Structure 1
Amino acid sequence: MPLLRTPGGGPPDPRPKAPAARDAPGAARRTGARTRASARRRGPRRFTRRDLAVIGLLLGIPVLLDMVIVWGPTLASVLLSFTSWDGIGDISWVGLRNYENLFTAYPAFWPAARHNLLWLAFLGLVATPFGLLLAVLVDRGVRFSRFYQSTLYMPVVLSLAVVGFIAQLILSRDQGALNAVLGNTADPTDWLGDRDLNIWMILLAAAWRHTGYVMILYLAGLKAVDPSLKEAAAIDGASEAQTFFRIVFPTLRPVNVIVGVITVIEALRAFDIVYAVNKGRNGLELLSVLVTDNIVGEASRIGFGSAIAVVLLLFSLGFVVTFLVQEIRGESRR
């Protein structure tokens, strides 16, 4: 092999030049083989005490808080629903007597249950489709879309208690803005005092807040839809309505699940808006208000109030589980 002369004109280098580029893949394979062999010898990585402590803190604290704040009171309510207790004296076991009195001898229960179902139907069949419509219109790229998003989403940052106070300012009989706009100052309509009207007015106020929430969720889902699907449908001659209901809307199934669960929860946990208006009385009875009146009120019938809470829990679980099962079955058939 000829000797290689150095660039500076010095003595030739007797060492042969290594074919680095040619041997690089082989070296990489050998290095990978040694790494895998070393990993097999070491076995699975074991957690150190520090790792276990960090995992315990990150998982243990949330689980503990969930047990203490959510599941603990839930199980306590289920047990107390079979007892008679005023919060101070002895707890006495009464079995199913609280449920029997609730269904047969408590006149406020059935109107409250109907109002909760009406609340669910209104939010699910009116507010949710309207929120979807607003999301579709904003997604089409209309002018000032950012302004519309901010304006329509603004009620979501308000609590339902604040929405209730706003409803009082607008719907009040004597000094409300709605009667002033309609010119009913001589014979004003009692929007919040009339039992035939107040539930619908409060539903409109609750839907005003719920619509913005639904709009943002669907808008996020529409932004994730592949534009090529719409283009292919347009090339095939599909109209905008056909493209939406046959192409776009089926791809929003995950968003539909989230919106459905949120709608059920919002409808069945409604409390603060009616309590801010008239403490949930005179046509605005809800199951959550009855729970508060019996547990926190002057009666202090904790066992009876716990029975109402259990019924409300069963309502919520029934709707949510049924909805999720239907969605999962529909997803598995696809």
Structure 2
Amino acid sequence: MSTTTRTHRLPAPPGGTADRRKPRRPRRLRHLNTQDRVVVALLLGIPLLLSLAFVWFPALGTVLLSFTRWNGVGDLHTKACDPALPSILNNGCVNGVQNYHQAATNYPEFWPAVQHNFIWLAVFVVIATPLGMVFAVVIDRGISGSRMYQSILFLPVMLSLALVGIIWEFMYSQNYGVINTVIGRAGDNNAIDWLGDPDLNLWAVLLEATWRQAGYVMVLYLAGLKAVDPTLREAARMDGANAWQTFWRVVFPVMRPINVVIMVITVIESLRAFDLVYITNKGINGLELLSVLVTANIVGETQRVGFGSALGVVLLLISLVPICLFLRQTFRREGTQ
């Protein structure tokens, strides 16, 4: 009878041969050949050139034109405008800040347009954005028919703003509009002129814009809700938090990047509003907006390119102020955490 003895290997002591590892060799950087450099240059250069050609150069040109008196015809001159000469002889001259001064003091549509733009922004922040967030939260809870509701609420976003304006014209029409028909005033002398009354048309168009903006915000918040870690909600539920507390104290703070994006988009969308008001009554009679005034002065009958460019610069500055302030507060808050 033979006996076999098993030998067990003891683990090597610390510092022994088992812990001695060969040092890793530094990875060699791959040198790009000529073909790789050409591909990288094309991938980076083409988008950069397109951005410079269609964004930055026009923006810089708008700023420069805002200091001139140019009507789009003739050459630009570096000489200062002579107040003693007729305006047609001063075409293309350097006008300084006179365009900005004229807009603020001698252009009656300017301040109503600024006021309307801020009203538009306030409605988007107070009504459209919270409404889109509510839609997203309800749909994210997996209610019956959530796919159908999501498609219906997102449908206005897929339509162009021009088509949205045409659809709502059938709602607001005095003679055959849906609203006047429902309240029994269609074709009557007492029919409400929703789009012609200066006291009503701004709020009527804001309803159109809110209808579309809420669906856009809903999609963004749905993307943010899908990215939230489910374990956070489970932990909050185990701690006894209800649905309201879970959302505001756990889910909503996690979606801070989405909130930043939505706030920036809300400011931009509210200040560049143009299509709906231009379709309604070309931005006059109570619907003045800065974007409409810019278009009316640059490509309208007057064709005051320099003055319209100054209005465009004002619109740019107004849009940058709330965005910069919001981003500054957000990044400062993240830096302190």
Q: When the two structures are superposed, what TM-score results if normalisation uses the length of structure 1?
A: 0.87
Q: For 1:255 and 1:184, how far apart are their aligned partners in 2?
A: 44
Secondary structure of 1:262 counterpart: helix
Query: What amino acid does structure 2 have at the position aligned with 1:133?
Result: V
Worse-matched range after superposition: 84-93 or 202-211: 84-93
Query: What amino acid does structure 1 have at the position aligned with 2:69?
Result: S
Q: State how many pairs are aligned.
A: 301
Any residues of structure 2 matched to 1:124-273 within 5 Å, and which? 124-185=125-186, 186=188, 187-273=190-276
- RMSD (Å), alpha carbons: 1.7
Aligned partner of 1:87 in structure 2 is 72
Any residues of structure 2 matched to 1:7-86 within 5 Å, and which? 36=25, 43-86=28-71
Q: For 2:103 and 2:265, how far apart are their aligned partners in 1?
A: 28
Q: Is the Cα–Cα contact under 8 Å of residues 120 and 263 in structure 1 kept in the other structure?
A: yes
Q: Is the Cα–Cα contact under 8 Å of residues 128 and 210 in structure 1 kept in the other structure?
A: yes
Q: For 2:151 and 2:257, how far apart are their aligned partners in 1?
A: 24
Q: When the two structures are superposed, what TM-score results if normalisation uses the length of structure 2?
A: 0.86
| Aligned structure 1 segments of 4 or more residues deviating by more than 3 angstroms | none
Query: What amino acid does structure 2 have at the position aligned with 1:214?
Result: V
Residue 178 of structure 1 deviates from its aligned partner by: 1.0
Query: What amino acid does structure 1 have at the position aligned with 2:35?
Result: R
Q: For 2:45 and 2:230, how far apart are their aligned partners in 1?
A: 43
Unaligned runs of 5+ in 1: 1-25
Q: For 1:228 and 1:56, how far apart are their aligned partners in 2?
A: 44
Aligned partner of 2:88 in structure 1 is none
Query: What amino acid does structure 2 have at the position aligned with 1:83?
Result: T
Query: What amino acid does structure 2 have at the position aligned with 1:87?
Result: G
Query: What amino acid does structure 1 have at the position aligned with 2:232?
Result: L
Aligned partner of 1:311 in structure 2 is 314
Q: Is the Cα–Cα contact under 8 Å of residues 173 and 179 in structure 1 kept in the other structure?
A: yes
Query: What amino acid does structure 1 have at the position aligned with 2:123?
Result: F
Query: What amino acid does structure 1 have at the position aligned with 2:143?
Result: V
Unaligned runs of 5+ in 2: 1-17, 76-91
Secondary structure of 1:319 counterpart: helix
Secondary structure of 2:303 counterpart: coil
Aligned partner of 1:279 in structure 2 is 282
Q: Is the Cα–Cα contact under 8 Å of residues 162 and 273 in structure 1 kept in the other structure?
A: no
Q: For 2:287 and 2:147, how far apart are their aligned partners in 1?
A: 36
Secondary structure of 1:288 counterpart: helix
Q: For 2:237 and 2:336, how far apart are their aligned partners in 1?
A: 27
**Higher Cα radius of gyration:** 1
Q: For 2:261 and 2:142, how far apart are their aligned partners in 1?
A: 25
Aligned partner of 1:107 in structure 2 is 108
